[in-house]
Each structure stands twice: as structure tokens, then as C-alpha cells.
Amino acid sequence: MSKNAAELDEALTRAAEHGFEAGLVEDWSSAVDAEMMARLAALDLKSLPVRKRIRTAVLTRLAVLQPHKQAARRAALFLALPTHVVLALQLLSRTADAMWRAAGDTSTDFNWYTKRAILSAVYAATEIAWFGDDTPDVCKTAAFLDARIDNVMQYEKLKAGLRPACPITEKSSR
């Protein structure tokens, strides 16, 4: 068992014993992200297209959670409460940022924010789909994720197609 896996088990145990207090859920999420990053670091992600890097990151995080699916479901329900929405968004954005960093993203402009916001939405929806997927190889979840990535790519193509049709012009000041 790797050090990160041991930390994950320890965080999960503490969280389960304490009824998923906010700080423990945060610790557990950080441990899951750390284990995800360790597993991703062992892969040759740079040889993959970006969409496959992101797909791999999402599925890797879910693989880390797989042995603890019931606990992950309980944590998600805890974070869905209105009183925990800020924490939920913070944890989701940390996870999306970790995934993009693992994928090699180096953006520092507005793209940094949009990439993470879009991936946060994709990951959250995929995790919900994963909760209902009882297939042994999570093939339904993978298909759901692929469809969401395709949706994002369609949006990006639409955006790119609109740029020439809607040029931004600067008004001259007189």
C-alpha cells in the first residue's frame, strides 16, 4: 500500500468515525486528490491528447474512490447541503486544478479559470453518474464522461466558429 493510499484510508476512517465533519471531508478529499496525483504521475500522460489526459484523470480519481464508494456517496450528500456549498465548490475546484496540473496545463490567463470551471462541472456530473454505475469496469460512467467531453468539444468548436463572424472592433477615440 502506498503512503498516499494509507493516508487515504486514515482520512476515510477519521471521517467515517466523526460523521463527516467538514474538516474531515476536506482532509479526505485532499487525500483522494493526492492518491490520484500519485497514480497519474506514474503514467505517461504527455503522450496522450489533452482530452484523453483529462479523461484519464477523472477516471483515476473515481478509481481511487471505488473501494470507498459508499463513503464517497455520503460525503457528496454532506457537501450537497446548503450549509456546505462553499466547501463543496472549494474541494471541486481543487480537484479540477489538480487534474489540469497533472494533464500539463500551464495556462495563466482567463483560460485557467474557464478550464477549471468546465472540468468541475464535468467531474461533478460524472461522479453522480458513477454513483449509479454498478458495472464492474464502470463502462457506463466512462461512456457518460466521454459524452460530456464531446459536449465540451462541440461548444469549443462553436466558439471557434463564431470568432470570425463576430470580430471585436475597437472604437477609435476622437
- Give kind and range of the element (H or E) at residue 86: helix 85-102
- Asked if residues 103 and 52 have their Cβ atoms less than 8 Å apart, the reply is no
Residue 172 lies in a domain: no
Provide the 3-class DSSP secondary structure of residue 69. Answer: helix
Residue 171 lies in a domain: no
- The answer on pLDDT for 162 being more than 70 is no
Q: Could you list the residue range(s) of the whole structural domain that residue 154 is in? A: 3-164
pLDDT of residue 124: 97
What is the distance of C-alpha 10 from the center of its chain? Answer: 22
Q: Look at 17-21, 42-46, 103-107 and tell me which has the smallest mean pLDDT.
A: 17-21
Residue 88 lies in a domain: yes
Residue 156 lies in a domain: yes
pLDDT of residue 54: 97
Alpha-carbon distance values, 10 to 2, 29, 69, 98, 174 (Å): 12, 12, 16, 21, 67
- The answer on pLDDT for 128 being more than 60 is yes
Q: How confident is the model at residue 153 (pLDDT cuts 50, 70, 90)?
A: confident
Residue 109 lies in a domain: yes
Average pLDDT over residues 57-77: 95
How far apart are alpha carbons 171 and 99 in whole angstroms?
40
- Work out the percent of the chain whose per-residue pLDDT is above 70: 79
In the chain, how many domains are there? 1
pLDDT of residue 45: 95
Residue 93 lies in a domain: yes
Q: 64: closest CA among 88, 89, 101, 39?
A: 39
Output the domain CATH number for residue 26.
1.10.357
